[in-house]
Structure formats: C-alpha cells, structure tokens
Structure 1
Amino acid sequence: MSTNDLDLVISDLTRIKKEYVEQRSAFVPGEHMAGLLKGLGATDADLAQLQRVSDDLPDDPTLPFRKSKNGRFHFDVKNGTVDRGEFQPFVLSAGEDFVRHDSGQTREFAEVGDDLQLNRAFQGLLLFKAFMVQDVEIAHRPKLDYDYPGWVCTLFNLRTVTTPELVGEPALEGVHSDGVDHTMTTLLGSENMTADSAITFLHDMRQINAVRWDEVDPELVVGRHQHRHFLDTMLVVDHERKHSLSPVVAADPQQASTRDMLIFFTRKPALEGHISHPHDSLVCHSSLPMSAGLLPPARV
C-alpha cells in the first residue's frame, strides 16, 4: 500500500470517527467497509473466505439456537500492535447491565483459529476498531483501568439459527449493555432471513434492562440499525447506549435461517474486584500467535 493510499484510508476513517464521537454510535454500510478493508490490504479472496468462516462453528455453551467461537486480542497502543491473547474464560454480570439466565456464569468458548485471525479482512476490522476507540472520551465503568493506554478486545464469531422448532434470538437478554467500553458488530452473512429480522435498537441508559425489544419505552429509543449486507458494521459506546434486537425470522418457515456475525467487545483491562479480573490476561497466545501493526492515531 502506498503512503498516499493509506492517507486516503486514514482520512475516511477519521470522518467516521468524528461521527462516532459526536453521535456515540455509527453505522458503516458493508460496501463502504469493504473498500476500507481493501485499502488496508485485504483481497477479494480474503473477503470471500470471511463470508464462509462461520460454517464450522460448534454449539454455543449456553444457548441452544447459537453456534460460537471467541478469541482475545490486545490493542497494545504502547508498542503499536494488535496481538492475539491467550485463552481465557468469559463472564458478564447483571451489574454490567447484562441480565440473562447465564449472567455471572463463567463460560468457555471454542477458540477462533487461523482461518479467521490470519484473514487480512478480519485484521483490517481489528485495526478499524482500534482506530475508532483510541482517545475517545467516554463514561467510565467501575473497576476498569482507564490509565492503561491499550485495550482488551474479546471477539465473538456467532451464528444465530432459527428452525421450525426454535427461534434464534441475537439478544435473548432483551435490553442490555455488553459490559465494555465500545461494542462493534459486523455482519458476515445470512440465509433465509426475512427483511425485518434482527433489527438493532439503541436505547437511552434510563431504559430498564432485560425488557424485550418490542416492549421498550419508545421515548427512550435513540436509534435503530439493521445489518442486511455483508460487512454492515455498527459501533456504539456501550456504557452510554443500551441496545436490543428483534429475532431472526425464517423467510421459508420450513427451512432453517441463519445470521452470521463478528462481535468485537472492547474495554480497558479489569482491576481487582471486577468479575473479569481473574480472566483478563494480556499474555500472547502460545499456539495461535497473531500480530499486526496498528494504524497511526486519528486527529478528530
């Protein structure tokens, strides 16, 4: 990539970041995101492979309508790299605005592999996320280390499945936050899904947790987006906007419907006393190494 090409990408990213800072959320259409990722070095083959990466996901540990893998990445701002972190269990609590039957339960997910983390389009999404969150002033969550310059990014590769016997709920928990500082969601694809499926609603923080998407206070809805096309991407400041989603509905009710996503949960490292502190290593992964250079910081 030439310096001039990178400058054009950085300029475009800076415009998106300005919107994110001002609105506390942003939505990037997939076609626009594809152009950005190609500007960061992704090829058409990378993009095609990314659309297939969810096909071998194993069953989720707690949700019967979901298949999942995850992995941890460290945005090492001091050294200018994003690095794959070692395996850690995962936990979200009701105290972090996540109220579900498995709140507070320590879960272990299968790990994402090289088929995802070495894909240059995926690495571009990591660089995009790191660029967007750095130096953005946000409401602080308790017991996170806001003096630390870098970030922990927990990545989920998820497939939500609706069958004739089971409704797939991208957010079974109803209105919630993700217990982090910044959430980013990217669509990889869908099959047999109605045009009004999986709509994301953004809510004022006064909205009560665990309320279904269709039972919320309409006066507290502050935005709505829908991931319909490959690479459609939403960013939200997680401790300033709650969110909920409508279910995945099958266009042909006799056949399965699927929705494949990448979810990037990004926050500062946990301090002692935080529920995730025992599971918050910044050590690099020994058997699944990956490292890429971060982009230069924005001037917003």
Structure 2
Amino acid sequence: MSYPLVEACHAARRPAPPAPPPFAHHGPALLTEALARIPEEAVRAFTASWNDLPADAHLGAGTPYRFRRYGRFRIAGDGLERLPHVAFFQDRAVNKVSGGVARMFAPLDDTVACGPVLGAVVRTLREHLPGPRTGTDLCGVHQIRVTATDATDGHPAPEGVHRDGHNYVAQVLIRREGVLGAESCLYDLAGRAVHRASLSAPLETIVLDDRRVLHGVSPMRPAPGARRGVRDMLLVDFFPGR
C-alpha cells in the first residue's frame, strides 16, 4: 500500500541536486574538434579578421588600445540567424565604467557573421554552458583586440572586476603574442578569487555563469623583447530571447 502524503513529505525533505560549478575552463581541444570538419582556409580567414577591427571609440583614451566589432544572433536549430545591428548596452549596475551608455560598435564583417566557423563555435559553446540552456537562444558576439606598447598599457577589462549582465559568457582566446599580464580571474559574488588563468593557447576557453561569478582581466604590457603585445579574444554572451 502506498501513502502519497508520506511519500510527498519524504520527497520534500530530499536535498535539491547541487548546482553545476559556475564556470568551466576548456583547453583548445573543445573548439579544435568542433572546427575539424570546416575547411582550413575558412578557419584562417576567421582568425585573420581580427586584423581588420576598428578602434573602440568609447574608451576615451588618447591612444587607442582596444579594437572591436559586435553582432547579435538568434540560435535557431543548427544555424545562426543574424539580427539587426544595434548598440551594445549594459546597465550601470553591472558596468560602472561604460554602463548606462548605448555603445555603437562596428558590425561584424559578413564573412564572419555568415561563415561556418562562428556558427560551429557558438553552437559548441552553448552545448557546454555551466547550467541550463533552455530558453537561452540569443547571443551577442564580440571580436576584440587589445594591444600594448612601451608607451601604452592594454586594459582588456577597463571596467575592472564586473559582470556583463547576461546569463552566460564565453571567453575564447584567438591570439596572444608578445604579452605579459592579461590574467583572467573569476570571483564569487563576495569578491573572493575562485579561478585564475593566463589564456595562452589559441581556442583555450572559459565559459562562465554571469549570474554566479564576477570576472576581470589584469592589464597587459609587452613581453621582454617585444615592441608590441597583441591579445585577440572572441566573447560570446548568451541570454534569453525577447
């Protein structure tokens, strides 16, 4: 004989399953495997597109050190649906430096936005989010280059330790040459460091739950013997459709 009320009480006392860790740090193999079926020339063209990023006009720096493009997509089945180009906006509560300002960045080049590489990368990252992905069907894609010289340090995160205001954020290293610093660090919501890494191998990736951890990147400067340091990143923000 079953006793539904008793069974319900026992079920109510069972502890909830633990939440997955709020981030994952992947080596290059994750995305290397995802791109294995794509022609090498398409992958080379994708990474070379970082050479054609315009300066970020919203930094207010006399000498530009950050260059970027931006685009938005709906993740539809096995493909990406490009959405109309709009300004990038963050609330001041999550970005005390640039929040509250509609920042218009140059759009992604058509060959990047419509090419097979971006679609494969975004779909793979979405499959490896550190939490539920149901309903998380929009994404913002940022191509960012930060440079440093003897005269000008590069600041990958001029806003310091922050959140982006999305559900999940993926950080993919594309290129790192002649760089000291630029250490990625994650913090719990109390401000305690929980993970540090200097992304060094192309396609090395951190995927984080932006609601459960803060993140920042230390300033960078040229390595000894290098006149210029370059760090290219692909950032993908995942958020619900609306």
TM score, norm. by length of structure 1: 0.68
Q: Is the 8 A contact 1:92 1:103 kept in 2?
A: yes
Which structure is higher in RCO with an 8 Å CA cutoff and minimum separation 6? Answer: 1
Map of 1:111 onto structure 2: 107
The offset of 1:135, in angstroms, is: 6.9
Largest Rg, 1 or 2:
2
Q: Is the 8 A contact 1:73 1:82 kept in 2?
A: yes
- 79-88 or 57-66: which moved more? 79-88
Q: Give the 3-state SS of the residue equivalent to 2:206 in structure 1.
A: strand
1:100-153 Cα shifts (integer Å, max 9, x gaps)? 1x221111000001221233222211111232349717xxxxxxxxxx834221
Judged with a 3 Å threshold, the aligned counterparts in structure 2 of structure 1 residues 128 and 254 are, in CA distance, closer, same or farther, namely: closer
Amino acid paired to 1:259: R
State which of 112, 116, 122 in structure 1 corresponds to 2:118.
Answer: 122
Q: Is the 8 A contact 1:164 1:253 kept in 2?
A: no
TM score, norm. by length of structure 2: 0.83
The 2-side partners of 1:55 and 1:34 are apart by: 21
The offset of 1:201, in angstroms, is: 0.8
Q: Which consecutive unaligned segments of at least 5 residues does structure 2 have?
A: 1-18
Map of 1:145 onto structure 2: none
**What is the RMSD of the two structures over their aligned residues, measured on CA atoms?**
2.1
The 1-side partners of 2:172 and 2:115 are apart by: 15
The 2-side partners of 1:32 and 1:269 are apart by: 26
Greater percentage in strand: 2
Amino acid paired to 2:69: K
Question: How many percent identity over aligned positions?
Answer: 22
The offset of 1:202, in angstroms, is: 0.7
Q: Give the 3-state SS of the residue equivalent to 1:222 in structure 2.
A: strand
Q: Give the 3-state SS of the residue equivalent to 2:32 in structure 1.
A: helix
Judged with a 3 Å threshold, the aligned counterparts in structure 2 of structure 1 residues 122 and 108 are, in CA distance, closer, same or farther, namely: same
The offset of 1:59, in angstroms, is: 0.8
1:35-57 Cα shifts (integer Å, max 9, x gaps)? 2321xx32322332222110011
Map of 1:91 onto structure 2: 89
Q: Is the 8 A contact 1:74 1:150 kept in 2?
A: no
Greater percentage in helix: 1
Q: Which consecutive unaligned segments of at least 5 residues does structure 1 have?
A: 1-20, 138-147, 208-219, 271-300
Aligned residue pairs total 220
- The 5-angstrom pairing of residues 207-226 of structure 1 reads 207=191, 220-226=192-198
State which of 146, 151, 154 in structure 1 corresponds to 2:140.
Answer: 154
- The 5-angstrom pairing of residues 155-194 of structure 1 reads 155-194=141-180
- The 5-angstrom pairing of residues 1-300 of structure 1 reads 22-38=20-36, 41-63=37-59, 64-76=64-76, 81-95=79-93, 97-100=94-97, 102-133=98-129, 136=132, 149-194=135-180, 197-207=181-191, 220-252=192-224, 255-269=227-241
